Structure 1
């Protein structure tokens, strides 16, 4: 750690981590409560995709101003402001009486939690030693996987007890606790001129967008990493129920173990990253070597289709775990820029990722409806839609293979 004691660094990490846990839980909860919402509000596939994607629409819309505000005002002030919006979004969702109300609340939730990871990574870029940045990033993603796990079976168990409205009221209360922890533990921010030096970059994104390294990794973030999150938070559940024939309870169990596998993967990445960095295994090398494994898993899932049956959750989990290597691109992008530009670089890349999540979530829903309207059986419609996504993923990977460490 570079500018704070070990104990303080742990306290800061835990404060940020709890907020990110809630962010991931809220992000993924639609996959578990989807059958309930579909039945109660008579939602179509495109409606469900838009509802889940609304979170990412709000999230992505705030990334560019977020980066500037983080560099100028620091993680504590900015995250507290946004978490207040997330609190309002949870309360609004709990009171919604139709699709429009649900969509508005999801967008507000997405806006409210948009700083949860970027605020943490911007602070870590300033406060933590370089060799610890990749570990801190991986373990933040591990905490996010905890949130994903909490969004599956625990939510499924709570649904008949307090209902989906009650669950969102509980989330609102937890959001208040998170805000208190951040206000208590996260340090104040130094003025940008002091932190970044006399040669601090101008307040803007031109330098980020023009950077060849950023541009080479952007398609990977949009399609591969964005697609991973889209599958994990929405389309894995419908695939299990519509293609593999799972019951809603079996799908929730499958999602639970999928997210446990993701949690373990990010934990292992966190343990391994310092060793990998010391031994020359850069993010670019790891991405080139391991992303193709995810293509193999996705191909097995698509080609086997209903024949996988009970194994569908296992193959989906292997696809998601193999895709986690794409997450290494995000901290690599942050380290490719000066500290005074880190907030904007990280937020710009996050914008790319979550724009991709929205595009894949809604785009797959639209494509599924079109294919079914053309007379294609539902199972085959899912296979064709997922194959189209797989093709786009391969193209994005080929672009990322051109990235060279700055």
Structure 2
């Protein structure tokens, strides 16, 4: 499939980005709604962690079939089918009358938006040059940060006016609009023309992905550092600010806004820098090796400072974790284009299983430490201490695995 002309590439990017905006908003909105939902449904910390993690459970459950469908049918057909499920999930959430109803709808939302990043990245693998792929990946994540921004103060302002249920009805309608844009602007998928590529794609399977040494090298940091950063950003940052730092709900929403605007700036910067870094031969492995330890330092500062650490400390932790976001397009480029959907989806499965485990695990640990006699603030700090230890161990695996990444498959 030929590389798209600049104008068409921009239009395709914007169509996909519009859908991904709402995917990210749905991912993060529970952090802002957590006080409202906790009060209305009497949720414990473990319930809140499971509710937020339900999105990622649904998301992760689709990744393996998603990759095969993307390679076979292309991003346009696949994302449209999934977004229809997202519309149903938003409608179900708006009508839920119990925690189990909320959880089921949340899982459905996760399933529905699970193609919103993998579909475009699969398309970009064929439609864009390698340098533009890295930029497009970072700017898709930047679009996600816009969605997370929208899930903070705008949601906090809207909920008292319209209520959280009409908010989800509105989201269902906007997701439907994103489907119409994709139908209108995204090109149809064409099978690869080169016989060698067709043969490689037909013979390849997920076993080829799992066995690849570079995939294995990147798996633990994707699970703990990337997944854990999303778990904090999309859920535990809000409760930390309220229950540990003493913020009011509106202040916490403002803090989440600060975190997400910092993430937006970070991903925009990565998008600008990545082509320049690639031209100068600065490898993704080297960037992760030198940059990721900054996130461990900031998480340690957060834990040590406790109630004195608020939105800016959380923002610095999340921003310093973005080094590991470079792993995802790097994994995709190691494999041939005919296997890109499966490679990207398999790595996305690793990341979002990590989000689910860390998100729910922190909630379970908080409740367990409180049952053991710790104060709520101390329980939060101890739980994040366990998360820090796991992240450092995953980084040690990354360093010890050796090897190097290739910017694109031959």
Q: TM-score range by the shorter chain?
A: over 0.9
How far off is 1:136 after superposition?
0.5
1:332 aligns with 2:333: no
1:154 aligns with 2:154: yes
Structure 2 matches for 1:184-195, cutoff 5 A?
A: 184-191=184-191
Residues 337 and 306 of structure 1, relative CA distance in 2, 3 Å threshold: same
Query: Structure 1 unaligned runs (5+)?
Result: none
Structure 2 counterpart of 1:199: 200
1:377 aligns with 2:375: yes
1:113-157 per-position Cα deviation (integer Å, ceiling 9, x unaligned): 000000000000010011211000000000000001000000000
How far off is 1:374 after superposition?
1.2
Structure 1 counterpart of 2:268: 267
How far off is 1:4 after superposition?
1.8
Structure 2 counterpart of 1:36: 36
Contact 1:297 1:319 (8 Å CA) reproduced: yes
Structure 2 counterpart of 1:211: 212
Contact 2:62 2:111 (8 Å CA) reproduced: yes
How far off is 1:281 after superposition?
1.2
1:347 aligns with 2:348: no
How far off is 1:5 after superposition?
1.6
CA–CA distance in structure 2, aligned partners of residues 216 and 199 of structure 1? 23
Structure 1 counterpart of 2:47: 47
Structure 2 counterpart of 1:220: 221
Structure 2 counterpart of 1:285: 286
1:293-349 per-position Cα deviation (integer Å, ceiling 9, x unaligned): 0111111110010133xxx11011000000011000000000000000000000000
Aligned residues: 403
CA–CA distance in structure 2, aligned partners of residues 87 and 63 of structure 1? 19
1:250-307 per-position Cα deviation (integer Å, ceiling 9, x unaligned): 1000000100000000000000000001111111000001000011111111001013
1:348-385 per-position Cα deviation (integer Å, ceiling 9, x unaligned): 00000000000001001111111111111111100100
1:243 aligns with 2:244: yes
1:233 aligns with 2:234: yes
Structure 1 counterpart of 2:304: 303
CA–CA distance in structure 2, aligned partners of residues 389 and 246 of structure 1? 23
Could you say what secondary structure the match of 1:198 adopts? helix
CA–CA distance in structure 2, aligned partners of residues 396 and 304 of structure 1? 24
How far off is 1:403 after superposition?
4.6
How far off is 1:405 after superposition?
1.7
CA–CA distance in structure 1, aligned partners of residues 106 and 207 of structure 2? 30
Structure 2 matches for 1:115-194, cutoff 5 A?
A: 115-191=115-191
Contact 1:298 1:390 (8 Å CA) reproduced: yes
1:90-122 per-position Cα deviation (integer Å, ceiling 9, x unaligned): 000000000010000000000000000000000
Contact 1:217 1:403 (8 Å CA) reproduced: no
Contact 2:63 2:346 (8 Å CA) reproduced: yes
CA–CA distance in structure 1, aligned partners of residues 75 and 41 of structure 2? 38
- TM-score where L is the length of structure 1: 0.97
253-262 or 188-197, which deviates more? 188-197
- TM-score where L is the length of structure 2: 0.96
Match for 1:392 among 369, 380, 390?
390
CA–CA distance in structure 2, aligned partners of residues 106 and 193 of structure 1? 40
How far off is 1:200 after superposition?
2.7
Structure 2 counterpart of 1:253: 254
Contact 2:200 2:338 (8 Å CA) reproduced: no
1:365 aligns with 2:363: yes
Contact 1:72 1:192 (8 Å CA) reproduced: no
CA–CA distance in structure 1, aligned partners of residues 131 and 296 of structure 2? 30
CA–CA distance in structure 2, aligned partners of residues 316 and 110 of structure 1? 25
1:112 aligns with 2:93: no
How far off is 1:192 after superposition?
5.2
CA–CA distance in structure 2, aligned partners of residues 332 and 203 of structure 1? 19
How far off is 1:199 after superposition?
3.4
Structure 1 counterpart of 2:24: 24
CA–CA distance in structure 2, aligned partners of residues 199 and 380 of structure 1? 53
